[in-house]
C-alpha cells in the first residue's frame, strides 16, 4: 500500500488500551519477536528525538535523563537511552523500581554494563536539560502514589524539556484522566495507534504537542480487532477536504449551490446574526437568506450585501416574534437557527422544528429546545437535525445523560442514538456523533474559546450543507469538514495574531486563508 494512503488511514484510527494490547498480541502470535518490535519502535522514537534535540539546540554538551518504569514503556526508554548514549549524549537513568519485566530488565542490565549511570533519586537528574518519560504507557493500572508521585511533581516544577513515550505517565489511556499525578510533557510520541486519551479534554494540558510514531502495524490486524468501520475516528485534513464542494462543476450556478436560511439575532445580539452570515459567506453558498428582527434589518443588509435579509415581526425587547406570513420554508435546503435569538424567540424555534428540510439548531434555539422535551421532539423529526451544543447547553438538553455518564465521547454517542440526530458537542476536542459513529476533531486552539466563535461555525456549516443535500450525499462528513475548517481558521489566526487575537469577526476573515493552505489551486 502506498505510504500516503497508509498514513492517512492510520491517522484516523483510535484505540483503547485493551484494543492496543489485543492488536499487539496478534502481531506477536504471528511471529514478530517482542524484543524486535521494541527495538524498531525505540529506534523510530530516537530518530524523532534527534530532530527535536537539534531543533531546540540541544547538543552533546546537554545531559539527558531517562525515566524508566517497570514495564515495556520502560523498555522503550532504555533502548532510547542506549541509542542516545551511542550518539554521544551524556545520559542518566532514573528507575526507582526493584522489579522489572524480563525484557526491560535485560535492557537495564546492558545499560549498566555500558557504564550509563542509574539512580533511584530524582534529585540526581537536576542537571539534565531534557527528560524522556518512559515510566508508564498503556499498562498503567492504578494511581501513582508515594515517592514516585513526589518525583513526578518535582519533575513538573522543573524547567526542562519533557518528552513522553506513548503517553505522559499517569494519564489513563482511555479516559485521559490523571491517575494520582502525571508527567506534564512538552511533546508526546504516541506509539503505533492513537489512544483515546489524546482525544479527551481532561489530559490535554499534560500531553503537550502530540505526534504519532507509526511502526507498521498491518491494517488487517487493526481491522480484525476494530471491525471495518470503527466506532471512534479522528478527523484528518484529507478526509475533511474531500467532502468540501471543490472543485466546483464548470457549469455551476447559484441554485445548484443551494439556498440557506439563517434565523438569528435580536436587538440585543445583532452581532450573532452578522457572524453567522459571515461564516456562511465563506462556505461559498449559492443563495443566503437571513431572517432577523425588523429593527436590525438595515444593519444586516449593509454588512452582508449579497444576502437576502428578511425582516421579522419582533417582541417588545427586539427578539424575533415569528416569521413573516409569506415565507415559504420549502425554498431552503437548510435552515440554521439559534445564534443571538434570546429565549423570547421560542415560537420560531417551534416552527423550525416542524420544517421538512435539514436544520441546524445552535445557542438559544438549544436553550428553547431544552424546554420542549428534547428526546421526543428530536426523535420525531423526519428530516436531518444537527445540534451544536457546548457542554453547558448539552447539560440543559440532556440532564439525564449527564447523571449517568462522564465521558464526553460516550455522552455525545448516547444522545445521538437516543435522538437520531447529529450531535456536534463543541469543546477543545469537538465530537461529532451520529447514531453509528463518533468523529473527533484532534487539532484546535484555545483561541477559539470566546463569544461568537460558535455563531461562525453555525453559519459555515449551514452554508456547506445545501450543495450536499442537493447532490443527495450523506451529510455527516460535511459536518466534520465544517468543524475541522473552523478550527484550522482559528489555528492560522492564532499563529499570526497570538491566541488573544482571534475574536469571532477576525476568525471569519481567516476561513478562506486557512482553506487555501490545503487546497491546490491552478493560479
Ligand atoms: N503497543 C505496542 O505494540 C508496543 C508497546 N510498546 C510499549 O509497551 C508499553 C506497554 O507496556 P506494558 O504493558 O509493559 O505497560 P507499561 O510499561 O505501561 O507499565 C506496566 C507496568 O507498570 C506497573 N504499574 C502499573 N501501574 C502502576 C503504578 N501506578 N505504580 C507502579 N507500577 C505500576 C505494572 O505492574 C507493570 O509492571 C507501551 O505503552 C509502549 O511504550 C513498545 O515497546 C512496542 C510496541
Ligand atoms: K510514558
pLDDT for position 260: 98
Q: Are strands 334-337 and 359-361 parallel, antiparallel or unpaired?
A: parallel
Question: For the chain, how are helix, strand and coil distributed in percent, rounded to 5?
Answer: 45, 15, 40
Distance 90 CA to ligand 1 centre (A): 26
The answer to the question of whether 61 is labelled as a binding residue is: no
Strands, E assignment, 384-508 = 385-387, 422-425, 431-433, 438-440
pLDDT for position 521: 64
Q: What cell was used for 471?
A: 447532490
Q: Which ligand is nearest to the CA of 206?
A: 2
Count of helix runs (H) and strand runs (E) in the chain: 20, 19
pLDDT for position 523: 46
Helix axes of 453-470 and 504-516: crossing angle, nearest 10 degrees: 40
The string of pLDDT tens digits covering residues 192-249 is: 999 999 999 999 999 999 999 999 999 999 999 998 778 899 999 999 999 998 888 7
ipTM over 0.85: yes
Alpha-helical (H) ranges within 91-236 are: 102-114, 146-157, 204-207, 219-226
Q: Which residue has the cell 431544552?
A: 370
pLDDT for position 424: 98
Distance 353 CA to ligand 2 centre (A): 49
Long-range CB contacts (< 8 A, 24+ apart) of 107-116?
Answer: 107/75, 107/78, 107/79, 107/82, 108/68, 108/74, 108/78, 110/78, 110/82, 111/78, 111/81, 111/82, 111/85, 114/82, 114/85, 116/81, 116/82, 116/85, 116/91, 116/92
Q: Is the pLDDT assigned to residue 65 strictly greater than 90?
A: yes
pLDDT for position 204: 94
Q: Which ligand is nearest to the CA of 195?
A: 1
**Average pLDDT value for residue range 251-275:** 91
The answer to the question of whether 149 is labelled as a binding residue is: no
Average pLDDT, the chain: 95
Q: What cell was used for 182?
A: 502525571
- Phi/psi at 129 (nearest 5 deg)? -100, -25
Model confidence band, residue 257 (pLDDT cutoffs 50, 70, 90)? confident
Closest atom of ligand 1 to CA, residue 101? 37
Q: Is the pLDDT assigned to residue 253 strictly greater than 80?
A: no
Report the C-alpha gap between 462 and 490 in whole angstroms. 18
Amino acid at each position: 500500500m502506498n505510504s500516503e494512503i497508509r498514513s492517512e488511514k492510520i491517522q484516523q484510527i483510535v484505540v483503547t488500551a485493551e484494543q492496543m494490547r489485543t492488536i499487539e498480541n496478534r502481531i506477536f502470535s504471528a511471529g514478530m519477536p517482542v524484543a524486535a518490535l521494541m527495538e524498531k519502535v525505540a529506534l523510530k522514537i530516537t530518530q524523532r528525538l534527534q530532530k527535536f534535540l537539534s531543533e531546540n539546540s540541544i547538543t552533546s554538551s546537554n545531559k539527558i535523563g531517562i525515566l524508566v518504569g517497570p514495564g515495556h514503556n520502560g523498555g522503550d526508554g532504555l533502548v532510547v537511552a542506549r541509542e542516545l548514549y551511542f550518539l554521544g549524549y551524556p545520559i542518566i537513568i532514573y528507575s526507582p523500581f526493584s522489579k522489572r519485566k524480563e525484557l526491560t530488565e535485560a535492557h537495564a542490565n546492558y545499560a549498566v554494563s555500558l557504564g550509563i549511570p542509574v539512580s533511584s533519586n530524582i534529585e540526581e537528574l537536576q542537571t539534565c536539560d531534557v527528560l524522556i518519560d518512559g515510566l508508564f504507557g498503556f499498562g498503567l493500572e492504578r494511581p501513582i502514589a508515594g515517592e514516585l508521585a513526589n518525583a513526578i511533581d518535582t519533575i513538573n516544577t522543573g524547567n526542562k524539556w519533557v518528552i513522553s513515550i506513548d503517553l505522559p505517565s499517569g494519564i489513563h489511556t482511555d479516559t485521559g484522566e490523571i491517575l494520582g499525578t502525571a508527567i506534564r510533557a512538552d511533546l508526546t510520541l504516541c506509539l503505533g495507534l492513537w489512544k483515546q486519551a489524546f482525544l479527551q479534554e481532561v489530559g490535554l494540558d499534560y500531553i503537550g504537542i502530540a505526534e504519532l510514531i507509526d511502526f507498521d502495524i498491518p491494517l488487517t490486524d487493526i481491522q480484525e480487532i476494530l471491525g471495518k468501520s470503527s466506532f471512534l475516528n479522528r478527523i484528518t485534513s484529507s478526509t475533511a477536504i474531500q467532502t468540501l464542494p471543490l472543485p466546483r462543476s464548470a457549469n455551476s450556478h447559484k441554485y445548484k449551490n443551494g439556498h440557506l436560511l439563517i434565523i438569528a439575532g435580536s436587538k440585543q445580539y445583532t452581532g450573532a446574526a452578522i457572524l453567522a452570515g459571515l461564516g456562511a459567506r465563506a462556505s461559498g453558498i449559492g443563495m443566503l437568506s437571513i431572517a432577523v428582527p425588523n429593527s436590525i434589518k438595515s444593519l444586516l443588509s449593509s454588512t452582508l450585501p449579497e444576502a437576502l435579509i428578511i425582516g421579522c415581526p419582533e417582541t417588545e425587547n427586539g427578539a424575533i416574534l415569528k416569521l413573516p406570513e409569506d415565507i415559504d420554508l420549502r425554498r431552503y435546503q437548510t435552515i440554521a437557527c439559534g445564534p443571538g435569538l434570546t429565549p423570547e424567540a421560542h415560537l420560531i424555534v417551534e416552527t423550525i422544528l416542524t420544517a421538512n428540510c435539514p436544520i441546524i439548531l445552535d445557542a438559544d434555539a438549544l436553550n428553547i429546545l431544552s424546554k420542549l422535551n428534547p428526546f421526543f421532539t428530536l426523535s420525531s423529526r423526519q428530516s436531518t437535525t444537527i445540534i451544536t451544543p457546548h457542554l453547558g447547553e448539552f447539560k440543559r438538553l440532556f440532564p439525564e445523560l449527564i447523571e449517568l455518564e462522564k465521558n464526553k465521547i460516550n455522552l455525545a454517542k448516547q444522545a445521538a442514538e437516543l435522538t437520531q440526530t447529529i450531535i456536534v458537542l463543541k469543546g477543545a476536542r469537538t465530537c461529532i456523533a451520529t447514531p453509528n459513529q463518533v468523529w473527533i476533531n484532534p487539532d484546535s486552539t484555545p483561541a477559539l474559546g470566546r463569544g461568537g466563535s460558535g455563531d461562525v461555525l453555525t453559519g459555515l456549516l449551514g452554508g456547506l450543507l445545501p450543495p450536499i443535500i442537493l447532490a443527495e450525499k450523506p451529510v455527516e462528513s460535511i459536518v466534520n469538514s465544517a468543524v475541522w475548517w473552523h478550527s484550522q481558521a482559528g489555528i492560522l489566526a492564532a499563529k499570526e495574531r497570538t491566541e488573544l487575537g482571534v475574536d469571532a469577526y477576525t476568525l471569519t476573515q481567516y476561513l478562506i486563508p486557512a482553506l487555501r493552505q490545503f487546497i491546490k489551486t491552478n493560479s
